[in-house]
Amino acid sequence: MRTGITQAPFGTLPDGETITQFTLTNARGMVARIIDFGGIITELHAPDREGRLADVVLGFDTLEPYQADSPYFGALIGRYGNRIAKGRFTLDGREVALPTNNGNNHLHGGAPGFDKVKWNATVEGDSLRLAYTSQDGEQGYPGTLDVTVVYTLTDDNELVVRFHAVTDVATPVNLTQHSYFNLSGSGDILGHVLTIDADTFVAIDGESIPTGALAPVEGTPFDFRTPRSIGSRMEEDDTQLRNGQGYDHCFALNKPHGKAMTRAAHVLEPRSGRVLELFTEEPGVQFYSGNFLDGSLAGKGQVYAHRSGFCLEPQHFPDSPNQPHFPNVILRPGEVYRTESRFRFSVDASTDRQG
């Protein structure tokens, strides 16, 4: 079996630049395909309990849909993952205005964000290194931010994502990876069994902006501390579910003091036996249940219907620049932004094969 990283063309941008797809293969046959446009994971092939591989991320066959209609499928997100209320915040006494690309609010770094730029790619052994310089004033953000992201597919079937950034002026930074997963490879994700290690979550208003409160999950549809299916309480009459049109909330992870790597989430797809575990150094994880997928997008031989994918986005909390009691997101000159997350794939051989 051939391991390592190979590359092939994946289309051309309007300015004539060629986009390259890099294929990472480990010794156990798992495959990740990543392009240098948006740092997008276009394919991720993981084995089921019989050893059969299936592509477990949503995406497209060609470059053009990623440029146009993609709802951040597989992409790197920055400078700020999630929402900033009204696209405004005050930093060191200065009001900063960002474009509003999600109703009244700023989402995922603006348009275009890091998901729609070409990254400088280099292969370093078994890792793919992507680099991008966000210039001062890009999408309204202060300072020049130099970002690197390293993807590594280990022989333990872990896709490791390492972020690094430095700036010359104080600026908010909240980088994340935005893959949509479906561990069965098709259909909806309502039967996936989810565990999230969080006693509280970030409550939101009707525009998906934090109210400032960390709400207890106890007694609510947001209690995933013990395993249960994503769809089991989705239709309950709950204000937070209505505000997010389903799950679209940041869970505040139960973490020890410091920035230790901890397991944030565990997902089991019962029929295939595929398991995804997320380990992260981040304080939160945004769980999104594919509420806005509506069948208008298609790729890789399937239509992306309502709730046909879920996201687990390791990150700091939304709207943190306006919420001083949330963990700090301001990066200053001389500091280094460094964080790592691991998406570990395995199988549960004991699961009922009939689901």
3-state secondary structure of 323: coil
Q: How far apart are CA 165 and CA 175, in angstroms?
A: 9
Residue 313 designated active-site: yes
Sequence-separated (6 or more) residues with CB below 8 Å from residue 52: none
- Determine phi and psi for 239, rounding to 5 degrees: -60, -45
Q: End-to-end distance of the chain based on CA atoms, in angstroms?
A: 32
Q: Which residue among the candidates 178, 192, 249, 316 is catalytic per the annotation? A: 178
The string of DSSP letters for 217-281 reads -TTSTT--SS-EETTTTTTS--HHHHHHTS-EEEEE----SSS--EEEEEEE-TTT-EEEEEEES
Q: Which residue among the candidates 158, 269, 313, 316 is catalytic per the annotation? A: 313
Q: How far apart are CA 172 and CA 355, in angstroms?
A: 44
Sequence-separated (6 or more) residues with CB below 8 Å from residue 15: none
Pinpoint the alpha helices (H) of the chain.
Answer: 63-68, 239-244
Q: How far apart are CA 128 and CA 160, in angstroms?
A: 11
Q: How far apart are CA 79 and CA 84, in angstroms?
A: 11
Residue 178 designated active-site: yes
* Burial class for 299, CB neighbours closer than 10 Å (0-12, 13-18, 19+): middle
Q: How far apart are CA 74 and CA 172, in angstroms?
A: 22
3-state secondary structure of 237: coil
Q: Which two tokens stand for residue 42?
A: 């276009």
The candidate with the shortest Cα–Cα distance to 5, out of 130, 116, 114, is 130
Q: Which residues are tagged catalytic?
A: 178, 313
